Amino acid sequence: MKESIISCFVEQFGQQPLVVAAPGRVNLIGEHTDYNEGFVLPGAVDKRIYVAIAKNEKNILNVYASQYKQNFSFDLNEIHPVDGWATYLLGMTYHLKQIGHNITGVDVVIDGDVPLGAGMSSSAAVCSAFGFALNEMFGFGLSRMELALLGQKTEHTFAGVKCGIMDQFASLHGKKGHIMKLDCRSLEYEYIPFDFPDYKIILVNTMVSHALASSEYNVRRQQCEEGVAILKEYFPTINSLRDVSNEQLEKYKDELSEMVYRRCSFIINENARLLHGCDLLNKGDLKSFGQMMFEAHKGLSKGYEVSCKESDFLVVQAKLFSGVMGARQMGGGFGGCTINIVKTDSVEDFSTYMRDSYSKQFDVMPEIYVTQIEDGAKVVE
């Protein structure tokens, strides 16, 4: 990919570029915990967005997208959101300028192998790669966390997606052989070992669009806030479900509607699962961690009700396959991918088995992505 993007850049712009790569991400456990000030457990993967960049003598951002064979040019004095992926580059540029950094014209080629719509956060990888490249080229001296926060702000303001910080954080902070326990309240994080060469992380795409995800995301958020508001009457120090114990929830469950109770119960238990899962991984106990992934999926499906029949089917099939340690739905829900931890020597058989069983059940062929945990954003030497 490096040689390809350099060759393309020279062909398009006639000079040698700096090349930066930023990965997509997976999340091992901890869904819908971010907006409840809880914990998430992401890792960067070996699918990346590549940005080749060099200064030009104009006040223009010239962009060529290799994947789509598209050219765009934007005046840096007139930056505003646009339709499509280029809005992420414009948003990062805008927000860097807003905090006082001088950006002159640049030529850019962008390419990559992060699959779109697979829940690996290709948009966050675009923001991370481009922000990292600008930071390197102009010597801004921004930290990885500062770049992650700018990426999140870009999603909010230029793409209209009110996401948390996990995706950008993971793309920039990834470390080979480790996943990251991120505290979504304090933004403190800890690297947790995940170095299991005999296993691969495999995503199986239901090919179901996330049509309900945005609206139901907001509904779940409101339900959690309703639970916190009621419990806060009895426990004034509570600010989010992060602060609520199971004992507190059970004591006043009759004050909550059954639905709000189930939503709160899932979040409280998901946080507990994640923290216990970190202990298991620190001990190298992948088998027990995998069982917790199955438990997490049950909670997502029955308690938080953000799964779908296709995701449920894939997790059941994975559980029946002897080479699988754990599986669950990944992401916001209502489609997208399941994440599976599979023995390396069973990857081919597992892929065939999942394609056959899923296509027979739903008459749709699922896409399958085999990944492993790698480093975050970096200059490609």
- For residue 119, what are the contacts with CB-CB under 8 A and spacing of at least 6? 203, 330, 331, 336, 337
- For residue 4, what are the contacts with CB-CB under 8 A and spacing of at least 6? 66, 111
pLDDT of 30: 95
pLDDT of 214: 66
DSSP strand pairing (18-27 vs 106-112): unpaired
pLDDT of 177: 96
pLDDT of 161: 81
Cα–Cα dist 151/90, whole Å: 11
Catalytic option among 167, 345, 349, 356: 167
167 classed as catalytic: yes
pLDDT of 381: 83
Domain borders along the chain are: 2-196+375-379, 200-370
115-167 per-position pLDDT tens digit: 877 778 899 999 999 999 999 999 999 999 999 999 999 999 999 887 889 99
pLDDT per residue rounded down to tens, the chain (381 residues): 889 999 999 999 999 999 999 999 999 999 999 999 999 999 999 999 999 999 998 999 999 998 888 899 999 999 999 998 899 999 999 999 999 999 999 999 999 998 877 778 899 999 999 999 999 999 999 999 999 999 999 999 999 887 889 999 999 999 999 999 999 999 999 999 999 999 999 999 999 976 666 678 889 999 999 999 999 999 999 999 999 999 999 999 999 999 999 999 999 999 999 999 999 999 999 999 999 999 999 999 999 999 999 999 999 999 999 999 999 999 888 888 999 999 999 999 999 999 999 999 999 999 999 999 999 999 998
pLDDT of 121: 85
pLDDT of 146: 98
Query: Which residues share a beta bridge with 42?
Result: 27
Say which CATH superfamily domain 200-370 falls into. Answer: GHMP kinase, C-terminal domain (3.30.70.890)
- Out of 3.30.70.1380, 2.30.30.90, 3.30.230.10, 3.30.1360.120, which CATH number does the structure's domain 2-196+375-379 have? 3.30.230.10
* Whole-structure pTM value: 0.92
Query: Which residues share a beta bridge with 179?
Result: 192
HEC per residue, the chain: CHHHHHHHHHHHHCCCCEEEEEEEEEECCCCCCHHHCCEECEEEEEEEEEEEEEECCCCEEEEEECCCCEEEEEECCCCCCCCCCHHHHHHHHHHHHHCCCCCCCEEEEEEECCCCCCCCCHHHHHHHHHHHHHHHHHCCCCCHHHHHHHHHHHHHHHCCCCCCCHHHHHHHHCECCEEEEEECCCCCEEEEECCCCCEEEEEEECCCCCCCHHHHHHHHHHHHHHHHHHHHCCCCCCCCHHHCCHHHHHHCHHHCCHHHHHHHHHHHHHHHHHHHHHHHHHCCCHHHHHHHHHHHHHHHHHHCCCCCHHHHHHHHHHHHCCCEEEEEECCCCCCCEEEEEEEHHHHHHHHHHHHHHHHHHHCCCCEEEEECECCCCEECC
The percent of residues above 70 in pLDDT, for the chain, comes to 99
80-91 per-position pLDDT tens digit: 999 988 999 999
